Structure 1
Amino acid sequence: MPEISDDDWEKFLRESEAGTAASAPKEPSARARMVTARLREQEARGELPEGWRTGPSWRDTEARARRRRRLWTFVGIPVAAALAFVAMKPSVIPGDPFGTGSTGTTGDAAPLPLETAAPSGAPGAVDPEAPTQARPFAGSPALRWADGAAGIVTPPATAVKGFTKAQVQDLLTKTRTLLIDTNLDPATLRGERPETAAKVIDPLQKDVHKLLGPALRKADKKDDPLMLVSRFDPAEIRIAGTVVKTRGRMTVGAGKDGSAVVHADYTFVYPVVRASTPTADGDAEATRTIVRRVLDVELSDPARYRVTPGTVFIARNDMTSGNSECDRYDGWFHPSFRSDEPTGPTPSGPEEDPYDRSRELGGTGEEPCGTVSRV
């Protein structure tokens, strides 16, 4: 019987773990046990041979995830700022290049074309109307944004080095599914677990799955599901109507270390009312919470990385939120309303426009709570 190299056996073992093994090499089982035991021992010591799970070990991946969490900056809004609507004139720039929607007064405003590149600045001013339950996007640049999932459009799939067009299309589809299930699904918004998203994300990303499991039931500053999921406590808040406005873009290309990466950058505008508001009261007070999420979703070669075939890996997840109580880590967004009495300390952070999609997200996660210029 010819001698079989360790490389052949390692390949067979990799395929076996992935459930894709072809016919097994004809070699005594004692040899397989010996090679497997040696590899497991090396893996435990962090001494993996070249070509066998040469991506980051899970412990390293958890460390990277913790660093990413420190990059997720929450931009809070004080109640005093929620009381103020900025009275600015409508934009008069010909062609409305920033996608402002100058009227902000009617529900039949022409929708904006899809975003294909980062805008050069924040949306211009709109008439400072107060939102109501019947007209929750009055006075908002989001009036002309796409409705819900219609605003999440995948680009055409093309082959990326090491991955076929079909594999890239699958990555794009899974990224879109992830965004919809964690940010737009009505059940998710009222606090239920985003089951579809959980199936898409690699189970080896235990820190991420913690956000989709235990943290949904008991959140804290370290494990806050709002890092990944948008949700409002149904005992306090409900979505006004059935539409969440969406704007953003998605690109795909080659990443580091032989991966394919989808970069997704989307802003979601949630119109809300108090849970006690009668649904028939169209004039009832409404407000908005604005959430922007920037994700890098990867597809890696299972021959090089410790991954679960058929799933994706979240390599980056940056987030900001406007008009949600700052420094509260109970796993829910807590928007402020115009009629609320100012409470809490005065925020010391800078003022920012939550509709501004031209700026990069980042920071250390330790920045003080700031204010928003509009909701």
Structure 2
Amino acid sequence: MNTLSKALELTHVSEDPKIPDDVWEQFSRDTERDIRDSAPKEPSARAREVTERLRRQEARGELPEGWRTGPAWQQKKSRRGLWSVLAVAVAAGVALVAVKPSLVPGDPFGDRTSEAASSPLPQETATPTAAPSAEPSQVPTLDDPFAGSPAKRWADGAAGIAVPKAKPVGGRSEAKVEQALVLTKKLLVESNLDPATLRGERPRAALDVLDPLQKDVRGLLESGLRKPDEKHDPLWMFSRFDPEEVRPVGEVVKTRGRMTFKAGDHASVAVHADYTFVYPVVQTNGSTEVTRTIIRRILDVEISDPAKYQVTPGKLTVVNWDQDINNSACEVYDGYLHPSFSSAEPTGPDPTGPTSDPYDRSKPLDASRDKSCGTVSRV
């Protein structure tokens, strides 16, 4: 069997039910006939005699130059016939790949759906219209703590907190707007992403961003850090885990959201931030079970004109905050998040509130919503 026939044999897939056997048999017969017709023939005795006579005449100089042009053209024609056969084989191969791409090692077309599903999402620039689609059921692990979560395609940490381009608003300069945006990002990072804050340490850098003259907010947070209770809960602003109970898995917290600004009511730049943070954690008792706590935070802050209002220059005034904490113990006010693990006894009472999707960013955190501790549809 010649090489070409072997190549065709490798692509023969008559076992594929989509391609009838009689079609392949006809293709094989036609191909073998084309190869026989185009193959070199053994010359006859008469042809050998003529060839020898022409060779002797050429040696004596009795033949004109260029007499071999005819045979050369004939050789070219023969090659074109072979390329025609090869073209038939290639066309058949292309048809096979179109029908069954898996026949080609590595699948040259690639799994475009899989690539799209794993590629990072672009920055969020507007309110989503729906919750993220359901992900394939996967168990998070120490090596892949975001497996089975839509947050796997979200940005890592501070990269997910994009500061919009500043421009003058309400009589405040571009520089003042930019200052407000940068300080808002710093507050979000130091409150929700700083490793020391997550370990339950005092969030000094975050507190330093807040205006000390705003004693109600600053005083409430300071009291919560010193002696937390239901009315003084540091979790309203800071993400904190008990280091004796859990530890983060890896160094990545997934982040998604957006930041906007406008002219405020107090000769100010008003910044609105809406971000969701996803924290993968594991127990410190040696267990390898990974779970995730998901927190969505709403924050409204301002930087007012110190010439018109009693404020500290370069500090943020908090106008409003809200949070939706998911997969953490209900009615426990010790200043720490307490994630639920299937392998551990639950902390706190059973949830009584509604079931919600913690990844759904399409709905506002309405102040009139049911804030009782509920369950989550996924983590």
Q: Report the 3-state secondary structure (helix = DSSP H, G, I; strand = E; otherwise coil) of the residue aligned with 1:256.
A: coil
What is the deviation of 1:206?
Answer: 2.0
Q: Does 1:237 align with 2:246?
A: yes
Equivalent residue pairs, number: 267
In structure 2, the CA distance between the partners of 1:218 and 1:366, relative to structure 1 (3 Å rule), is: farther
What is the deviation of 1:277?
Answer: 2.8
- Do 2:358 and 2:378's aligned partners in 1 also have CA atoms closer than 8 Å? yes
Pairs within 5 Å for 1:148-187: 148-187=157-196
Q: Which amino acid aligns with 2:160?
A: G
What is the deviation of 1:345?
Answer: 4.7
Q: Which amino acid aligns with 1:244?
A: V
User: What stretches of structure 2 of length at least 5 have no aligned partner?
Assistant: 1-112
What is the deviation of 1:199?
Answer: 1.5
**Partners of 2:243 and 2:141 in 1: CA distance:** 19
Q: Report the 3-state secondary structure (helix = DSSP H, G, I; strand = E; otherwise coil) of the residue aligned with 2:118.
A: coil
Q: Which amino acid aligns with 2:359?
A: Y
Q: Report the 3-state secondary structure (helix = DSSP H, G, I; strand = E; otherwise coil) of the residue aligned with 1:192.
A: coil
**Partners of 2:346 and 2:221 in 1: CA distance:** 33
The residue that corresponds to 2:136 in the other structure is 127
The residue that corresponds to 2:210 in the other structure is 201
Q: Which amino acid aligns with 1:135?
A: D
Identity of aligned residues (%): 58
After superposition, the C-alpha distances for 1:247-270 in whole angstroms (9 at most, x for unaligned) are 000111112243211111000000
The residue that corresponds to 2:265 in the other structure is 256
**Partners of 1:274 and 1:343 in 2: CA distance:** 13
After superposition, the C-alpha distances for 1:24-49 in whole angstroms (9 at most, x for unaligned) are xxxxxxxxxxxxxxxxxxxxxxxxxx
After superposition, the C-alpha distances for 1:307-342 in whole angstroms (9 at most, x for unaligned) are 111111111111011100011111000000122346
**Partners of 2:124 and 2:261 in 1: CA distance:** 15
In structure 2, the CA distance between the partners of 1:363 and 1:273, relative to structure 1 (3 Å rule), is: same
What is the deviation of 1:368?
Answer: 2.4
Q: Which amino acid aligns with 1:179?
A: L
Q: Which has the higher contact order (CA 8 A, sep 6+)?
A: 1
Give me the CA root mean square deviation: 2.1
After superposition, the C-alpha distances for 1:267-319 in whole angstroms (9 at most, x for unaligned) are 000000002337xxxxx210000000011110112233221111111111110
**Partners of 2:142 and 2:267 in 1: CA distance:** 49
In structure 2, the CA distance between the partners of 1:191 and 1:211, relative to structure 1 (3 Å rule), is: farther
After superposition, the C-alpha distances for 1:174-210 in whole angstroms (9 at most, x for unaligned) are 0000000000000000011121221111001223323
The residue that corresponds to 1:362 in the other structure is 366
Rg larger in structure: 2
Q: Which amino acid aligns with 1:141?
A: P
Q: Does 1:297 align with 2:301?
A: yes
**Partners of 2:244 and 2:369 in 1: CA distance:** 29
- Do 1:193 and 1:213's aligned partners in 2 also have CA atoms closer than 8 Å? no
- Do 2:331 and 2:348's aligned partners in 1 also have CA atoms closer than 8 Å? no
- Alignment match of 1:215 (pick from 221, 224, 232): 224
- Do 1:296 and 1:317's aligned partners in 2 also have CA atoms closer than 8 Å? yes
**Partners of 1:225 and 1:368 in 2: CA distance:** 18
TM-score by length of structure 1 reads 0.68
- Do 1:190 and 1:232's aligned partners in 2 also have CA atoms closer than 8 Å? yes
- Alignment match of 1:307 (pick from 311, 314, 319): 311
**Partners of 1:369 and 1:151 in 2: CA distance:** 27
TM-score by length of structure 2 reads 0.67
**Partners of 1:241 and 1:342 in 2: CA distance:** 24
- Do 2:246 and 2:283's aligned partners in 1 also have CA atoms closer than 8 Å? yes
- Alignment match of 1:247 (pick from 244, 256, 261): 256
- Do 2:282 and 2:290's aligned partners in 1 also have CA atoms closer than 8 Å? yes
What is the deviation of 1:344?
Answer: 5.8
Q: Does 1:331 align with 2:340?
A: no
In structure 2, the CA distance between the partners of 1:230 and 1:345, relative to structure 1 (3 Å rule), is: closer
- Do 1:211 and 1:228's aligned partners in 2 also have CA atoms closer than 8 Å? no
Q: Report the 3-state secondary structure (helix = DSSP H, G, I; strand = E; otherwise coil) of the residue aligned with 1:226.
A: helix
What is the deviation of 1:118?
Answer: 0.6
Misfit runs of 4+, over 6 Å: none
- Do 2:329 and 2:348's aligned partners in 1 also have CA atoms closer than 8 Å? no
In structure 2, the CA distance between the partners of 1:342 and 1:116, relative to structure 1 (3 Å rule), is: same
The residue that corresponds to 1:268 in the other structure is 277
**Partners of 1:190 and 1:343 in 2: CA distance:** 19
In structure 2, the CA distance between the partners of 1:343 and 1:213, relative to structure 1 (3 Å rule), is: closer
**Partners of 1:121 and 1:365 in 2: CA distance:** 18
- Do 1:132 and 1:285's aligned partners in 2 also have CA atoms closer than 8 Å? yes
**Partners of 1:365 and 1:222 in 2: CA distance:** 19
- Do 2:330 and 2:348's aligned partners in 1 also have CA atoms closer than 8 Å? no
Q: Report the 3-state secondary structure (helix = DSSP H, G, I; strand = E; otherwise coil) of the residue aligned with 1:179.
A: helix
The residue that corresponds to 1:87 in the other structure is none
- Do 2:176 and 2:269's aligned partners in 1 also have CA atoms closer than 8 Å? no
The residue that corresponds to 2:43 in the other structure is none
